[in-house]
Amino acid sequence: MRATAKRRTGLPVEFAQAPMRTVRTGDAAAVYAHPGTQMVRLQRLGLLHKVAVGYYVVVPQERIGLVLGQRNRHP
């Protein structure tokens, strides 16, 4: 039986700790073998928001899954 690498489905800690939570595709090369593909995957999951070519911002946890412009409703 072959040992397989553990896969993370969420956001890397390095992204959450980035200044202003802004990461570049090039920065992701330290975490991923194929950073462009992984950045698109994280964007589609709603964990990153693309702000320019090659630049992404981490979506705050309380905003994940909300539609752009939608506000949290507090009881």
> Which tens digit of pLDDT belongs to each residue from 21-74?
999 999 999 999 999 999 999 999 989 999 999 999 999 887 777 766 656 555
Is 28:35 a contact under the CB 8 Å cutoff?
A: yes
For the whole model, what pTM was predicted? Answer: 0.75
Handedness of CA 55, 38, 48, 40 (dihedral sign): positive
Distance CA 30, CA 35 (A): 9
Select the more confidently predicted residue: 62 or 6.
62
